Amino acid sequence: MHVHILGICGTFMGSLALLVREQGFHVTGSDQNVFPPMSSQLEEQGIALVEGYDSEQFSPRPDLVVIGNAMSRGNPAVEYVLNEGIPYTSGPRFMADYILKDRWVMAVAGTHGKTTTSSMLAVILEQAGLSPGFLIGGVPTDFGLSSRLGSSPFFVIEADEYDTAFFDKRSKFVHYHARTLILNNLEFDHADIFKDLGAIQQQFHHLVRTIPGNGLIIKPADDISLKEVMAMGCWSKVCNMGPCSDWLATPIADDCTCFSIHYCGKHQGEVNWNHTGYHNMNNALSAVIAARHVGIKPDHACEALSGFRGVKRRMELLAEINDIRIYDDFAHHPTAIATTLEGLRAKVGADTTIRAIIDPSSNTMKMGIHKGRLAAATAAASEVTWHEPLDMDWSLADELNHSPVPASKETDIDQIVSTTVSTAKPGDYLVIMSNGGFGDLHQKLIAALNEKVSV
């Protein structure tokens, strides 16, 4: 079968493409915006990409077209598929029909931490010899790929609340029929498709309705938004974690690079790793609990996590040049920005310079939904440079005026590179935060710093 994927370079669709090919199908695809790491992964795997959406890409005619949720009516490729009567489906529906059927699905949902937690869980299962399948919205360093079929009944999936397709406005995760479900947290996001938090909670309620009675839902005990979701109805076993719960993670090191896990007051294991922050510690706790649901002992899970190498674009160290460290992070929400910077600050100490370079380019950011919260989110940095995209619906001026640290804004990416290179000093940590390509700023900055050193 020939499967053609529209929007193939999205994190979900690119991962799906690998699974489709591993199933033995012929895979092609197209996209408008092509950037690493997904474009690189697809090219390395030999999957043919077409840039743009003209009708010529449908020759020869595919047997099935998988349409990504970024596609809409009016798109030339979408219109061609509809007019020509080519069979089509959504990515999540394809997963349900071809990949997840008869699997024990372990899903990770929530506003923050889905990619990292899914990666942790997959690594734990792998180290236990279970060879899980997985689809993750990023590239776990331990695997080098964002998805694979695996050879056991277990399949780990990052369960996104974003809508499925232009013809199916339900959240993606309702298609997956998970048996083990992690709910990391819940905040308002994706303002381009959800009018308020209540609309997102309704989708999470639909997700909870799909978990079987003998399944397990893992969630933090103190998340008010998730408590409200559970109050709408729950028919599955629920495992709470955190203060006043059976499961608790306790930091041993202030930056959470070492912590212990307890169940009913009894020590279960200890994790020693290179990752920082309470958010990562709690992500790890949920992964340990989920792994226990499929028979993996907590101490074995902790041992596996101690070797966890992280995920590309999640505080990924890109380069170290003249004692200047450059990190890439996917944070694009005030909470994610704050927790990432706080984790790094706890690691490096109060006197080290952390320079945050932030691109608020997500749909929700550009709409201004989080304005008023962004400045405070950068308090753990030493200074911050904001990129102000030309298509933003609002100005960052107020954020600069209320910034707890020195802050500036710039519309030109090359100017950000130039200013950063001229002012960066040995010992600095440069943290680039964006959920997009950021105009290739990462590589431009690395190249410019290398050139400065070589002069």
Same domain, 18 and 107: no
Q: What confidence score (pLDDT) does residue 226 get?
A: 97
Mean pLDDT of 111-129: 95
In a domain, 12, yes or no: yes
First CA to last CA across the chain, in angstroms? 55
Query: What are the tens digits of pLDDT across the range 433-447?
Result: 888 778 889 999 999
Which of 185-199, 348-362, 364-378 has the highest mean predicted lDDT (pLDDT)?
348-362
Q: What confidence score (pLDDT) does residue 170 get?
A: 94
Q: Measuring CA to CA, which residue among 336, 340, 265, 259 is closest to residue 305? A: 259
Mean pLDDT of 217-221: 97
Q: What confidence score (pLDDT) does residue 190 get?
A: 74
The yes-or-no verdict on residue 291 having pLDDT over 80 is yes
In a domain, 237, yes or no: yes
Tokens of 280: 């990562």
Query: What are the tens digits of pLDDT across the range 18-37?
Result: 999 999 999 999 998 766 66
Same domain, 149 and 253: yes
Structural contact between residues 443 and 368, judged by C-beta atoms closer than 8 angstroms: no
Same domain, 238 and 150: yes
The yes-or-no verdict on residue 425 having pLDDT over 70 is yes
The chain-wide mean pLDDT, for the chain, equals 91
In a domain, 310, yes or no: no
d(C-alpha 414, C-alpha 25), whole Å: 42
Partners of residue 26 on adjacent β-strands: 2
In a domain, 311, yes or no: no
Same domain, 384 and 427: yes
DSSP string, 158-212: E---SEEETTEEEEGGGGS--SEEEE-------TTT-SSHHHHHHHHHHHHHTS-
Q: Measuring CA to CA, which residue among 321, 320, 324 is closest to residue 451? A: 321
CATH number, position 149: 3.40.1190.10
CATH number, position 336: 3.90.190.20
Q: What confidence score (pLDDT) does residue 36 get?
A: 65
Q: What confidence score (pLDDT) does residue 54 get?
A: 94
Structural contact between residues 137 and 119, judged by C-beta atoms closer than 8 angstroms: no
Same domain, 334 and 276: no
Mean pLDDT of 82-100: 97
Q: What confidence score (pLDDT) does residue 339 get?
A: 85
pTM: 0.83
Q: Measuring CA to CA, which residue among 154, 152, 136 is closest to residue 144? A: 136
Sheet holding 2-6, edge to edge: 48-51, 26-31, 2-6, 64-67, 88-90
Mean pLDDT of 253-258: 93
d(C-alpha 133, C-alpha 19), whole Å: 9
In a domain, 141, yes or no: yes
Structural contact between residues 132 and 126, judged by C-beta atoms closer than 8 angstroms: yes
Q: What confidence score (pLDDT) does residue 336 get?
A: 84
d(C-alpha 177, C-alpha 192), whole Å: 26
Domain boundary (305, 339, 362) is at 305
Number of domains in the chain: 3
Same domain, 76 and 110: no
Residue 368, SS3? coil
Cis peptide, bond prior to residue 60, ω within 30 of zero: yes
d(C-alpha 249, C-alpha 256), whole Å: 10
Question: What range defines the domain where residue 430 resides?
Answer: 316-454
Domain boundary (37, 70, 91) is at 91
Same domain, 255 and 335: no
Q: What confidence score (pLDDT) does residue 310 get?
A: 83
Structural contact between residues 282 and 259, judged by C-beta atoms closer than 8 angstroms: no
pLDDT grade for 427, boundaries at 50, 70 and 90: very high
Same domain, 115 and 261: yes
d(C-alpha 301, C-alpha 288), whole Å: 6
Q: What confidence score (pLDDT) does residue 38 get?
A: 67
Same domain, 204 and 252: yes
Mean pLDDT of 258-280: 94
The yes-or-no verdict on residue 150 having pLDDT over 90 is yes
Domain boundary (305, 340, 372) is at 305
Query: What are the tens digits of pLDDT across the range 123-134?
Result: 999 999 999 999
CATH number, position 56: 3.40.50.720
Same domain, 258 and 143: yes
In a domain, 234, yes or no: yes
In a domain, 343, yes or no: yes
Q: What confidence score (pLDDT) does residue 392 get?
A: 80
Q: What confidence score (pLDDT) does residue 108 get?
A: 98
Same domain, 144 and 210: yes
Place of tokens 């003998």: 214
Same domain, 181 and 104: yes
Q: CA-CA distances (angstroms) from residue 8 to 24, 30, 166, 417?
A: 18, 6, 16, 30
Is pLDDT larger for residue 136 or for residue 389? 136
The alpha carbons of the chain give a radius of gyration, in whole angstroms, of 22
In a domain, 41, yes or no: yes
Q: What confidence score (pLDDT) does residue 34 get?
A: 65
Q: What confidence score (pLDDT) does residue 333 get?
A: 81
